[in-house]
Amino acid sequence: MGSGRRTAGVLLVALALVSCSSGKDAASPSSSSPSSSSSAAPTSAAPANPDGLPPDQEQQVTAALAALDRRAQIAQLFVVGVPLSGLSAGDALVADGVGGVFLHGRSTASPGDIAAVTGRWTSAAPGGLRPWVAADQEGGQVQTLQGPGFGDLPSALVQGQLPPDQLAAVADGMGASLGQAGVTLDLAPVADIVPAGTAASNAPIGAFDRQYGSTAAEVVSAAGAVVRGLGAHDVTAALKHFPGLGSVRGNTDTTADVVDHTTPRDGSQVAAFGVLSRNAAHPFVMVSSATYQLIDPSSPAVFSPVVITDVLRGDIGFRGPVITDDVGTAKAVAAVPPGERAVRFLAAGGTLVLTVIAAPLQEMEDAVLARDAADPAFAKQVDAAVRTALVAKARAGLLPPA
Distances (CA, A) of 263 to 92, 219, 293, 348, 375: 42, 16, 8, 20, 34
Q: Is residue 152 part of a domain?
A: yes
Whether residue 49 has pLDDT greater than 90: no
Average confidence (pLDDT) over 263-283: 98
φ, ψ of residue 349 to 5 degrees: the values are 110, 10
Average confidence (pLDDT) over 342-369: 99
| Per-residue pLDDT at 12 | 54
Under the banding of pLDDT at 50, 70 and 90, the label for residue 45 is very low
- CA-based nearest residue to 272, from 231, 310, 318, 334: 318
Q: Are 391 and 62 in contact (CB under 8 A)?
A: no
Strongest mean pLDDT among 16-20, 40-44, 109-113: 109-113
Q: Is residue 36 part of a domain?
A: no
| Per-residue pLDDT at 56 | 97
- 246-257 per-position pLDDT tens digit: 999 999 999 999
Cα 159 from chain centre:
20
Share the mean pLDDT of the chain: 92
Domain of 203 in residue numbering reads as 3-23+56-396
| Per-residue pLDDT at 43 | 38
Q: Is residue 313 part of a domain?
A: yes
Under the banding of pLDDT at 50, 70 and 90, the label for residue 338 is very high
| Per-residue pLDDT at 303 | 99
Q: Is residue 28 part of a domain?
A: no
Q: Which amino acid is at 154?
A: P
HSE-CB of 302 using CA atoms within 13 angstroms: 29
- 147-206 per-position pLDDT tens digit: 999 999 999 999 999 999 999 999 999 999 999 999 999 999 999 999 999 999 999 999
**Structural domain tally of the chain?**
1
Q: Are 105 and 171 in contact (CB under 8 A)?
A: no
Distances (CA, A) of 401 to 277, 289, 306: 27, 37, 37
- 93-130 per-position pLDDT tens digit: 999 999 999 999 999 999 999 999 999 999 999 999 99
Under the banding of pLDDT at 50, 70 and 90, the label for residue 31 is very low
CA angle 303, 308, 313 (to 5 degrees): 165
Q: Is residue 310 part of a domain?
A: yes
Distance between CA atoms of 336 and 339, rounded to whole angstroms?
A: 8
End-to-end Cα, the chain, rounded Å: 42
Average confidence (pLDDT) over 70-78: 99
Q: Is residue 50 part of a domain?
A: no
Q: Is the pTM of this model over 0.75?
A: yes
Distances (CA, A) of 82 to 87, 90, 276, 357: 6, 6, 29, 7
Whether residue 340 has pLDDT greater than 70: yes
What's 172's domain CATH number? Answer: 3.20.20.300
- CA-based nearest residue to 34, from 382, 368, 320, 367: 320
Q: Is residue 41 part of a domain?
A: no
Under the banding of pLDDT at 50, 70 and 90, the label for residue 325 is very high
CB atoms within 10 A of CB 391: 26
| Per-residue pLDDT at 51 | 84
Whether residue 283 has pLDDT greater than 80: yes
| Per-residue pLDDT at 5 | 53
Q: Is residue 31 part of a domain?
A: no
- 54-68 per-position pLDDT tens digit: 999 999 999 999 999
- 303-321 per-position pLDDT tens digit: 999 999 999 999 999 999 9
